Amino acid sequence: MDHRPIGVFDSGLGGLTAVRELEKQMPQESIIYFGDTGRVPYGSRSREIITRYARQDVAFLRSFDLKAVVIACGTVSTTAIDVLRSEQDIPVFGVVEPSARRAAELTRNGKIGLIATRASISTGAYERAIHALNPGAEIFPIACPLFVPLVENGRTQPGDVVIETVVKDYLAPLKAAGVDVLVLGCTHYPLLREVIGAFMGQSVALVDSGAEVAHAVGRWLSDHDAVAENGHSGLHRWCVSDSQQGFRELASRFLGRPVTEPVELVDIEQY
């Protein structure tokens, strides 16, 4: 048993899709969330900048006594996980391996679509992880740089002509290729599940990278006797690097519940 909190971070609010699943699966776990809302998006930045930001995010989280760190961000998971793992003495989870495992399990025709930020796609990390499990899989990667700003601005609902047009424009080649699995390789994208699902059709399984990393954390905690005691309700701490009010307003949409706990402002450049 281990009552220490889990540290979770993302460039902004997308990582809350992982927290939502962690809360659902393991309500007894305490979570410290850092959203780098002052510097989002990461997905259009260079490897050097993403790595520097990610190191600062982890250094902030490690100012708490944690049992694990969750990189609830596709961009950091694809770009900087090896560096972060080599520098940390506690487990560091990323979204790539769990999502790749799920995609490899789900595909029937071996055609897997992958959507993520520009930075994530350019690393080839998802392809490598899927091919390690299913060398014959055909992978169709597409960078979708407009999705994160649209999601952060609340343009996620079916019937919203802006998001529907952008989804169609990005995903038409995947539909034409006949993929039967689509990896939502950025943790912001699960908020577009309805619009993406409606466009791709019911026969295409969607892999939610935030939910998959949460499942991987859950498995690891139980295998290592590191879960917090059942029956207790975990404490949550929300930390951001810009507008606390902005976070509070948008976060409930990602989390599926209102944020009632205080939201703290962090000067991330100090770390």
Q: Which residues are catalytic?
A: 73, 186
> Taking the complex as a whole, how short is the minimal distance between the CB of residue 104 and ligand DGL, in angstroms?
20
**Diameter over CA atoms, the chain:** 49
Helices H, strands E: what count in the chain?
11, 10
Is residue 37 close enough to count as binding ligand DGL by CB under 6 A?
Answer: no
**80 Cβ neighbours under 8 A, 6+ residues apart:** 47, 50, 51, 54, 55, 71
Is residue 228 close enough to count as binding ligand DGL by CB under 6 A?
Answer: no
Is residue 102 close enough to count as binding ligand DGL by CB under 6 A?
Answer: no
Q: Which of residues 151-180 bind ligand DGL (CB under 6 A)?
A: none
Report the residue from 6, 58, 73, 251 that binds ligand DGL according to the rule CB under 6 A. 73
> Taking the complex as a whole, how short is the minimal distance between the CB of residue 208 and ligand DGL, in angstroms?
11
> Taking the complex as a whole, how short is the minimal distance between the CB of residue 71 and ligand DGL, in angstroms?
9
Instruction: Tell me the one-letter amino acid at 93.
Output: F
**157 Cβ neighbours under 8 A, 6+ residues apart:** 163, 194, 195
Report the residue from 129, 186, 226, 268 that binds ligand DGL according to the rule CB under 6 A. 186
Q: Would you say 40 or 181 has its CB closer to ligand DGL?
A: 40
Is residue 43 close enough to count as binding ligand DGL by CB under 6 A?
Answer: yes
> Cβ–Cβ contacts within 10 Å for residue 137, how many?
18
> Taking the complex as a whole, how short is the minimal distance between the CB of residue 57 and ligand DGL, in angstroms?
12
Is residue 41 close enough to count as binding ligand DGL by CB under 6 A?
Answer: yes
What percent of the residues of the chain are helix, what percent strand, and what percent coil, each to the nearest 5? 50, 15, 35
Q: Would you say 30 or 117 has its CB closer to ligand DGL?
A: 117
How far, CA to CA in Å, does 7 sit from each of 34, 80, 142, 196, 239?
Answer: 8, 17, 30, 30, 11
Is residue 250 close enough to count as binding ligand DGL by CB under 6 A?
Answer: no
Strand order in 236-240's β-sheet? 92-93, 68-71, 6-10, 31-35, 236-240, 263-265
Site stretch for ligand DGL (CB under 6 A), options 25-33, 181-189, 234-242, 263-271: 181-189
Is residue 107 close enough to count as binding ligand DGL by CB under 6 A?
Answer: no
Is residue 123 close enough to count as binding ligand DGL by CB under 6 A?
Answer: no
- The Cα–Cα gap between 190 and 255 comes to 11
How far, CA to CA in Å, does 231 sit from each of 28, 138, 221, 226?
Answer: 7, 45, 16, 15
- Interface with ligand DGL by CB under 6 A: which residues? 10-12, 14, 40-43, 73-75, 117, 120, 148, 186-188
